C-alpha cells in the first residue's frame, strides 16, 4: 500500500481523556467505555468538542497497552474524576492518514517507522491515532485514522 507521510508543526490542542491499561485484544471494549465516559463529561459540562476522537499509546506492549482515550476539544475545559485534561502536543510531528480496518494498521506503522529512520527523524516514543469517522456508521474499509508521531528536536 502507498502511504503519504507529512511533517508538520501544528499548535497544541486541548483534549479530555481517560487513561487506562489493557491488552490489545480488549481495546475495542475499553475504548467504547472510555469514549462514553468522556462524552458524558463533555455533555454534562458543556465543553465544546473538536474535530475527532483519539487515543495516545505510551507503549506498544500488546499485552499491556498504556493508553489515553478521549476527544479533541475546540477550547480548553476542566476534567473531573477519571476524565482528565490532556494537551495534544504541537511542534514537529510526522503523520499519515490511514484508510481501512483498525486491526490492519500495523503495515502503516511499520512503513512510517522505516520512513522516519530513513529521513533521520526520531520519534518521542508516543503514538497518536485520531479517528475521523465511526465504525458503527461506516464500513471498516472506509474508516479514516490519522496516525501521528511527535518528533524529538
Per DSSP, what are the bridge partners of residue 119? none
CATH fold for the domain made of 5-150: Multidrug-efflux Transporter 1 Regulator Bmrr; Chain A (3.20.80)
What pLDDT, in 10s, does the model give residues 57-105? 999 999 999 999 999 999 999 999 999 999 999 999 999 999 999 999 9
Would you kindly state where each structural domain of the chain is located, as residue ranges? 5-150
Give Cα 87 to chain centroid, integer Å. 12
| Dihedral, 15, 66, 32, 93 alpha carbons, nearest 10 | 40
Degrees to nearest 5, angle at CA 26 with 47 and 111: 85
Whole-model pTM?
0.95
Residue 20, helix vs strand vs coil: strand
Return d(Cα 82, Cα 113) in angstroms, integer. Answer: 32
Amino acid at each position: 500500500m502507498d502511504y503519504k507521510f507529512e511533517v508538520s508543526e501544528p499548535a497544541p490542542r486541548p483534549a479530555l481523556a481517560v487513561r487506562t491499561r489493557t491488552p490489545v485484544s480488549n481495546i475495542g471494549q475499553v475504548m467504547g467505555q472510555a469514549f462514553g465516559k468522556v462524552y458524558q463529561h463533555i455533555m454534562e459540562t458543556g465543553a465544546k468538542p473538536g474535530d475527532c476522537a483519539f487515543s495516545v499509546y505510551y507503549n506498544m506492549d500488546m499485552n499491556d497497552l498504556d493508553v489515553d482515550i478521549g476527544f479533541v476539544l475546540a477550547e480548553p475545559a476542566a476534567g473531573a474524576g477519571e476524565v482528565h485534561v490532556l494537551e495534544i502536543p504541537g511542534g514537529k510531528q510526522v503523520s499519515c492518514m490511514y484508510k481501512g480496518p483498525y486491526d490492519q494498521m500495523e503495515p502503516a506503522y511499520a512503513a512510517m517507522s522505516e520512513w522516519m529512520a530513513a529521513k533521520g527523524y526520531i520519534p518521542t516514543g508516543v503514538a497518536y491515532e485520531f479517528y475521523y469517522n465511526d465504525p458503527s456508521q461506516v464500513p471498516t474499509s472506509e474508516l479514516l485514522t490519522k496516525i501521528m508521531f511527535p518528533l524529538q528536536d
